[in-house]
A and B are shown apart, each in its own frame.
Chain A
Amino acid sequence: DAKTTQPPSMDCAEGRAANLPCNHSTISGNEYVYWYRQIHSQGPQYIIHGLKNNETNEMASLIITEDRKSSTLILPHATLRDTAVYYCIVRVADGGSEKLVFGKGTKLTVNP
């Protein structure tokens, strides 16, 4: 079972920031937080991951709370093409299984 909980759906206006929350209250010290998205039945696309520090790349920013029990994925200027299902996944850093455990994700709809 997925170790994360996310809201089932969210809406965002085009051009505005989209903030997608994720709760992972049982996360262990050696687990990373990963984000993927799936655009309309395509293969999932890797977005970003982090351990405890905030991370930023060309796609998004990841803010992890100090206690690491929750995180927020930020798309700074959402476009219509960002409409997708976003998955938050926790995964051990070393050892353990390589598999990704997907939950139900958040369906983000970006409106014009």
Chain B
Amino acid sequence: NAGVMQNPRHLVRRRGQEARLRCSPMKGHSHVYWYRQLPEEGLKFMVYLQKENIIDESGMPKERFSAEFPKEGPSILRIQQVVRGDSAAYFCASSLSLAGVKNEQFFGPGTRLTVL
């Protein structure tokens, strides 16, 4: 059973360009989470999605950032008009959907975004 997959693993963008980060959850998982880790800091929650729905986006910056998890295909984290401060590691995690049970999250290897 393949783990959580993220691509690309490394992404370089110039200021003002768009960045698209992809996450394929583990097989059978319908919950996806995105976290950001700035250099030398801990992970910060960004957004929690279920298929076609955003459940919690309390950690998402108000502008330039968006996320989706379509019925078919991977979850996408999109950053428009990137700035140097967006340089970070972006981790995706997935979990099972079992009513009434808080399931552990399994993390992908991350995408390292560098903005020049």
B-binding residues in A (CB < 8 A): 2, 32, 34, 38, 41-46, 49, 87, 91-94, 97-105
Please tell me if the beta carbons of A94 and B43 are within 8 angstroms of each other in the complex: no
Beyond A32-B102, A100-B43, 8 extra complex contacts between A and B, CB < 8 Å:
A38-B43, A42-B110, A43-B109, A46-B105, A99-B48, A99-B58, A101-B45, A104-B42
Within B81-116, which residues are at the interface with A (CB < 8 Å)? 89, 91, 93, 95, 100, 102, 104-110
Residues of A within 8 A of B31 (CB): 98
Per-position contact with A for B33-60: 1 when CB-CB < 8 Å, else 0? 1010000001111001000000110110
Contacts of A99 in B (CB 8 A): 33, 45, 48, 56, 58-59
B77 contacts partner chain A, Cβ-Cβ < 8 Å:
no
Q: How large is the interface on B (under 10, 10 to 19, 20 to 34, 35 or more residues)?
A: 20 to 34
**B 12-33 to A, binary, CB cutoff 8 A, 1 in contact else 0:** 0000000000000000000101
8 contacts between A and B (CB under 8 A): A43-B110, A44-B43, A46-B106, A94-B100, A99-B45, A99-B59, A103-B42, A105-B42
Please judge, given known A-B contacts A44-B91, A46-B104, A49-B104, whether A98 and B48 are in contact too, CB under 8 Å: yes
Majority secondary structure of chain B interface residues (helix, strand, loop or mixed): strand
Shortest Cβ gap from A37 to chain B (Å): 11
Q: How many pairs of residues, A versus B, come closer than 8 Å at their CB atoms?
A: 60
User: In the complex, which residue of chain B has the Cβ closest to the Cβ of A87?
Assistant: B42
Q: For the complex, is B4 an interface residue (Cβ under 8 Å from A)?
A: yes
- Interchain nearest-CB distance for B18 vs A (Å): 24
- With A42-B109, A98-B55, A98-B56 as known contacts, state yes or no: A92 contacts B102, CB within 8 Å: yes
